[in-house]
Amino acid sequence: MSPPTLPTGVERRLFDGDERLATRGASVYGEPTDGEWRVWDARRSKLGAMLEHGMETGLSGGETVLYLGAAAGTTVSHVADFSGPTYAVEFAARPTRDLLTVAEDRQNLFALLKDARKPETYAHIVEPVDVIVQDVATRGQAHVARANRPFLRDDGRLLAAVKARSEDVTADPESVFEQFSSQLDGYEILETQRLEPFHDDHLAVVARPDRDH
């Protein structure tokens, strides 16, 4: 079986003899570059790790994206390199300042100092999207996915990186992942994958809107 096709604008290219994921855009976090291309480091990006694991993300390039938990812009900068309008939600002020700097080099990247748990605060800004990428370090990660579902088109995708330690640092990660899946009302889960060796105690989830909800 052939591996899933990478989105247009994402390629595997040689850097120092190793084949790495790469996008074309301005450098953000000191990643290796080759001309206009820059390494997409899966050890610093949950979505990059999903692509390295060959998950069927549904990304083809050019999508409108809502990114929840953008932090300083490491992953969302790569997303903006191959996507259409990209709305980047980050709650903390300090990383948002870095995110604004990243957005200066990407006209399609819109940084929002907002709380992903309160989508009503940015509902007047964000248009319907093809993809929600969720990478939030908070309790209630399933709630965040449910609360932001109204932004997602009927044929869209949720790409979530579930952080077990953010939900309960003492709980068994598998039980956290099972709980997340059971609470993901309004979605149909298409695929799940642990993100080791790139990220410990993380589960990647690909889901689509459940048309019965």
Q: Which residues are annotated as a binding site for S-adenosyl-L-methionine?
A: 74-75, 90-91, 115-116, 135-138
User: What residues pair up with 131 in beta bridges, in sequence order?
Assistant: 65, 157
- In the chain, DSSP finds a helix count (H) and a strand count (E) of 6, 11
| CA gap 49, 54 in Å, rounded | 9
CB atoms inside a 10 Å sphere around CB 123: 11
Instruction: Write the secondary structure of 54-78 as one string of H (helix), E (strand) and C (coil).
Output: CCCCCCCCCCCEEEECCCCCHHHHH
